[in-house]
Structure 1
Amino acid sequence: MKVDKLFLSLWVLATASVMVCESGQAALSEVKAQQTHLFFFFRDNGQDGVYLAASRDGLKYCPLNKDEPIFKAPASMGDGLTRDPSVVLGPDNQFHMVWTTGWWEKDNFGIAHSENLLDWQGVSSVPVMAQETSTLNAWAPEIFYDDLNQDYQVVFASTVRDKFPDGSSENAPDKKGLDHRQYMVSTKDFKQWSESHLFFDKGHSVIDAMIAKVVDGRYAMVIKDETFKPVARKYLQLYFSDSPKGPWSEPTEDISPKGLWVEGASLNKIGEEWLLYFDAYDNKSYGALKSTDLRNWQDISQQTSFPSGIRHGTVLTVPSERITHLLEGFDCQ
């Protein structure tokens, strides 16, 4: 009888240990499966650097790094600005960031790389548009990893003086209208870059293209119609393609909230829904739309909150375990 009781006790203890072990492994797996949505953005004119916020649900974003910049550009690079930051987590498990270095007469964008989003290496400018000597600017570079061609592509907006006749956007410093088109460069190693080439032209001024892989091997590009006259558009549209390098479909209808001038869109899938964030710069606010099919959109701006002063940011979803050093004590309720 004593032997039976001893055996039973040992069996219960062993079973409990297994259950605890399995429970611990399940909890660990759950932690590993958790994702955090990161928002990279700038404030004011971009003179203070790149800021970072995070969210568990994609709706409420709170500052990380004590709301201090995670990166500041060298003052000697362009105008020393870090506007329109765009970040991708590459297959090399490194974060790669590009940004706008200045406003006018700039033929480059900034680039830097990091393992932890705090320490940055390879900070430099990438020269673009060498073949177009009358280029006025290189705005809002957006980086995207093309897993089909296994390279990184960066799309950006430039006005090449007198190349396109529409001049339908606001005035440049030379008092002429702007005629932005999207251009692209690509690289496999961040050492050798392709020549800049015209990436997207629908016959009118556009800026702030952002590409995302969606479903069934298809790609979506959200872009701002920058037409200013005779009637200002200033809204967002989506295009679709079988390749991130195009060609692109005809546009959807205007998807941004009526009456708002918006830009700097960032598209990200969270669960079964697509969220599209935008900078409503004209009334100094930030907002979001949601959709399940990328066609029908609902304005959910009233459900969102962002750090104060946020401007033109990019959202990137990463495994939480990848950034535990940034999430210590993080509580965004």
Structure 2
Amino acid sequence: MGAKKWLSRFMSLVILISLLPAPAIQGKEIDSVENKLIAHYDMSRANGKLKDVTNNGFDAEYVGFSDGDFLEEQNNMVLNFTGDKSKYVTLPAGLINDETFTIETTFSTSTSAAHWLYSIGNKTGVWPNVKNYIFLNPKQGNGTVRFGIKNSDQELLFQNSTINSGEYNTFTTTFKEGEISLYLNGEQVGTLPHTYSVLDILKEGVDPNANAIGFIGKSLYEPDAAFTGKVTDFKVYNYTLSPTEVKEKVTLTDKEIVELAKENLEIPNANDIRGNVTLPARSSKGATITWETDSPDVINVNDTVNDDYDDIPAGVVTRQDTNKKVGLTATITSGEVSDKKEISLTVKAKPGKKNFSSYLMTHFTGEHDIGEQIYFASSTDGLNWKDLNDSNPVLTSNIGEKGVRDPYIFRSAEGDKFYNIATDLRIANGKGWGAAQTAGSKSLIVWESTDLVNWSQPRMVEVAPPKAGDAWAPEAFYDEKTGEYVVFWASTVSNEQGVFEPHNIYYAKTRDFHTFTKPKVFIDRPGETHIIDTTIIKDDGMFYRYSGDGHITIEKSDQILNPWTKVGTIESSTGLTGHDVEGPLIFKFNDKEEWNLMVDQYATGKGYLPLLTTDLSSGEFRKLTASDYSLGSNKKRHGSVLPITKEVLVKHKISQSLLLIQ
């Protein structure tokens, strides 16, 4: 009787189990005990899916892409993401079924935006209704990596690393219970201790009817941009890689290092060289580069020693009376592997001298809808200004923070090229001054032109230290001793305790405004004194600089990078302090030995006030009365002034613009 009861109960259990729904299985059954690579997408494709080349069956469907989006670079297949929201990849269900796993992806991007490279979780929406996800944005608006994990209550973020912009990077994230470790190009850059359950996040953040757990190239926040960049590799492991394993998997062979360096090596504006060029001695992956030239009288490919000063890097250009074709040969070496790359340049004929009779001002107007863009104004006497382009912005930034302030326009040392550099910042977007200083952009926005009418598209160049919170009010001055531009700006930098220190002035050197040296401190005031808004002018062999540090402080030096001594402040002659004014700009009048120091009356909102002097060394200035100058209808906020030859207003397709005859 007991045996029959046992058998009856056993059969009932078997029947009950047989009626339960079978769990969905994506791909082949994966042995949960064996540590292995369970999915690998090398961007090869078949039947509308990225192939999982592990043959585990985790092929990933792609949406919207055509054959033209799949590119071949250095014998590797690359999927090109163009920022089109209709194009993305779906990550199949079943990829992650434990708290321990690793995601590794290799990509390149030079775009700073709210664009996610990948997401785990697939429920989209708008803030604050998007919850339960993991994501990677390799280059957010301020230029840093942004990685995050969020459950239903709060989000944990990592933002303390910066990729090599425009180059291929590998970002690896390893997960185990209570800890996420983050690696960039094989080196650990951060750790996030946590109390989250990834499986709970997947349970709540994944639509069970979607047969997918996330995306490549798509943010879950619907207003966000789609990813812009290239992805060449995406891997998922079912275990936590060790630091040694992470490093081994991203280490390149000597052959690969040389091939990569050769692919990336270029000289900007090769067909229109108008000044010294950058000839790198080493690639980002450590290959050495040596240079030869067929025209040593035009381009010097050797460094030159400067006694008691920075040396002169290779790449000094001597322009001739006519255009000159120059051939360069770069020899690239890593270990026992070596290769050559030929680069052809056109060095433009040296320009003639110009007589300046007018002035061009660039500025922004304030924190309103279109105020944080670049406006132009012109003057024939340096005191009375007329707004150009119907008082509308002439240059606008749609990258980074999508706004610019503190524009600085200047003429190249050769005289026939122009740059406009500006702070990447838009307060009008509601970010607030606190976040602008501690979570702002580390980049400058750069435009260039050869005629002041036709400008390049804006580009971002990251210059600030890795732990900086901002990069404000950039300016540049040519250092004749080294043949480089010294670019300087204000940054606040986080210390070892995570506290942001007062603003200091940093500098980096460049020849082409593409490649910059590592940042160094230029001015460091003692104690808790902030210093911002530095500007420099040269007269009679002496450099003078003006900075906002509670005052507008004046200093002088015989060389840009030599020690500086204090001259005084403008308070003694004008009564103005840093509580009244900021953003100094200075220029010399074209027709007399007199200088105009213009200061932004930010405290009263009145815009620029001219202060004049006939002797920079005295530090004494006199204020003008309102009847002595006029600034036009646009408010003139922190900007710069450039001497020009003459101006003519012309009509073009969009609006009025300024045509400068050089």
Q: Which residue of 2 aligns with 1:309?
A: 635
2:406 aligned with 1:84: yes
Q: Which has the higher contact order (CA 8 A, sep 6+)?
A: 1
Give 1:251 deviation, angstroms. Answer: 4.0
2:509 aligned with 1:191: no
CA distance in 1, matches of 2:524, 2:469: 17
Q: Which residue of 1 aligns with 2:473?
A: 140
SS of the residue corresponding to residue 419 of structure 2 reads strand
CA distance in 1, matches of 2:479, 2:459: 22
Q: Which residue of 2 aligns with 1:152?
A: 485
Q: Which residue of 2 aligns with 1:268?
A: 587
Give 1:178 deviation, angstroms. Answer: 5.5
Amino acid at match of 2:580: W
Contact kept, 8 Å, 2:585 with 2:597, in 1: the verdict is yes
The Cα offsets for residues 160-183 of structure 1, whole Å up to 9 and x where unpaired, read as 1247x9xxxxxxxx9x77601000
Give 1:122 deviation, angstroms. Answer: 5.2
Alignment of 1:113-124 (within 5 A): 113-121=448-456, 123-124=458-459
Deviates more, 1:274-283 or 1:308-317: 308-317
Q: Which residue of 1 aligns with 2:331?
A: none
- Return structure 1 stretches of 4+ with deviation > 4 angstroms: 323-329
CA distance in 2, matches of 1:301, 1:314: 21
C-alpha spacing 1:221/1:47, structure 2 compared with 1 (3 Å): farther
CA distance in 2, matches of 1:293, 1:238: 13
Amino acid at match of 1:312: H
Q: Which residue of 2 aligns with 1:292?
A: 614
CA distance in 2, matches of 1:324, 1:241: 40
2:282 aligned with 1:282: no
Q: Which residue of 2 aligns with 1:246?
A: 562
CA distance in 2, matches of 1:63, 1:310: 10
The Cα offsets for residues 66-113 of structure 1, whole Å up to 9 and x where unpaired, read as 222110011xx2211110000111125111011011234211111110
Contact kept, 8 Å, 1:71 with 1:118, in 2: the verdict is no
Q: Which residue of 1 aligns with 2:421?
A: 98
Give 1:65 deviation, angstroms. Answer: 2.2
RMSD over aligned CA atoms reads 2.5
CA distance in 2, matches of 1:50, 1:92: 22
Q: Which residue of 2 aligns with 1:201?
A: 524
TM-score w.r.t. length of structure 1: 0.75
Amino acid at match of 2:375: Y
Q: Which residue of 2 aligns with 1:12?
A: none
Q: Which residue of 2 aligns with 1:223?
A: 547
2:397 aligned with 1:73: yes
CA distance in 1, matches of 2:658, 2:442: 37
Amino acid at match of 2:641: V
Question: How many percent of aligned residue pairs carry the same amino acid?
Answer: 28
C-alpha spacing 1:206/1:300, structure 2 compared with 1 (3 Å): same
Q: Which ranges of structure 2 fall in alignment gaps of 5 or more residues?
A: 1-353, 426-435, 651-656
CA distance in 2, matches of 1:64, 1:310: 13
Amino acid at match of 1:116: D
Amino acid at match of 1:159: T
C-alpha spacing 1:78/1:320, structure 2 compared with 1 (3 Å): same
Deviates more, 1:312-321 or 1:81-90: 312-321
C-alpha spacing 1:47/1:136, structure 2 compared with 1 (3 Å): farther
C-alpha spacing 1:298/1:185, structure 2 compared with 1 (3 Å): same
CA distance in 1, matches of 2:583, 2:597: 10
CA distance in 2, matches of 1:154, 1:53: 24
Contact kept, 8 Å, 1:100 with 1:109, in 2: the verdict is yes
Deviates more, 1:106-115 or 1:258-267: 258-267
SS of the residue corresponding to residue 283 of structure 1 reads coil
Rg (Cα) greater in structure? 2
CA distance in 2, matches of 1:149, 1:122: 28
Contact kept, 8 Å, 2:463 with 2:516, in 1: the verdict is no
Residue correspondences, number: 274
Amino acid at match of 2:367: N
Contact kept, 8 Å, 2:407 with 2:423, in 1: the verdict is yes
Contact kept, 8 Å, 2:472 with 2:490, in 1: the verdict is yes
The Cα offsets for residues 254-285 of structure 1, whole Å up to 9 and x where unpaired, read as 34543652111011111211110010101011
Q: Which residue of 2 aligns with 1:128?
A: 463
Q: Which residue of 2 aligns with 1:180?
A: 503
Give 1:46 deviation, angstroms. Answer: 7.3
CA distance in 2, matches of 1:67, 1:253: 34
Amino acid at match of 2:581: V
C-alpha spacing 1:301/1:119, structure 2 compared with 1 (3 Å): farther
Q: Report the structure, 1 or 2, having the larger helix content.
A: 1
The Cα offsets for residues 140-198 of structure 1, whole Å up to 9 and x where unpaired, read as 011222233221221100011247x9xxxxxxxx9x77601000111112232111110
CA distance in 2, matches of 1:128, 1:46: 27
CA distance in 2, matches of 1:40, 1:138: 19
Q: Which residue of 2 aligns with 1:51?
A: 375
